[in-house]
Amino acid sequence: MTDTPHITDSHCHLDFPELIAELPDVIDRAAQAGVARMVTICTKLKNEPEVRAIAEAHAPVFYAAGTHPMSVASEPMATLDQLLTIAKHPKMVGIGETGLDYHYTAESAQMQQDSLRIHIAAARETGLPLIIHSRDADEDMARILREEHANGAYTCVMHCFSSSAELARAALDLEFYLSMSGITAFPKSQELRDIFAAAPLDRIVVETDSPYLAPPPHRGKRNEPAFTAHTARRAAETFGINYADFAARSEANFERLFTKVAAYEAPQ
């Protein structure tokens, strides 16, 4: 498979039961598909040791950690010191996922906003990218991202982006990145593809969000990092370039955003 262009799954959940039970095979299938690296996301800080152990045990795997907005009300509020301490690990490469979700958990909106600002402070201080989950909260999300950026620059990726063109523009105006998930490959997602097509190609990365949101031809089934290749091939069509070119561009984008991954040297 040496001729297969390399890409990175910038957001997956390898600690979830659907994937952890057969993790070596999942990672092997990813490699066969050209998915040479993956960032597994810790969504509750109490699970950080387990997620860290996955990254330590598997060379292609890096990790990020934070409190998912849907868990803010049921988990202890993350502290800046906690996040800064976790970020010292050589394979901890991003802050989050954090953000706002008013679709299912609007009642905790203020707590979510408070948590988001703590995570932004950690991203600003560490230089690691903020990983944002945003659903049904476009106005508050754009406002907070702008307010906090005015207080001091930080880098950010809008993970699994499927929001409005207005939020996309707000993020891009701050020089943030948009991440394409399997949703962008769904037949009825042309409006979302149009939003991405209007974005600069140098601000695009790809992901699975596995085990969720599998792209065609696996839609409705468990997702896994190998399927990043399907999303990336559809993304290449969206941008009107061949797959090898898109893979090379998205890899360059990923390394520009996740600088700690690009600089990582495995222990000898």
pLDDT-based confidence at 122, cuts 50/70/90?
A: very high
Write down the pLDDT at residue 266. Answer: 85
Whole-angstrom CA distances from 53 to 19, 40, 47, 92, 267 are 15, 11, 10, 11, 15
- Over residues 120-129, mean pLDDT: 98
- Over residues 59-77, mean pLDDT: 98
Write down the pLDDT at residue 3. Answer: 79
Is the pLDDT score of 76 beyond 70? Answer: yes
Domains detected in the chain: 7-263 (3.20.20.140)
pLDDT-based confidence at 36, cuts 50/70/90?
A: very high
Spatial CB neighbours of 214, under 8 Å, sequence gap ≥ 6 = 182, 208, 220, 221, 222, 223, 224, 227
- Over residues 101-120, mean pLDDT: 98
Is the pLDDT score of 260 beyond 80? Answer: yes
Write down the pLDDT at residue 1. Answer: 41
Write down the pLDDT at residue 240. Answer: 97
User: Three-state DSSP class for 1?
Assistant: coil
Q: Summarize pLDDT for 216-234 with one digit per residue, the tens.
A: 999 999 999 999 999 999 9
Residue type (1 letter), 254: F
d(CA 70, CA 85): 23
* Per-chain mean pLDDT for the chain: 97
On whether the CB atoms of residues 35 and 7 are closer than 8 A, the answer is: yes
Element (H, E) at 71: none
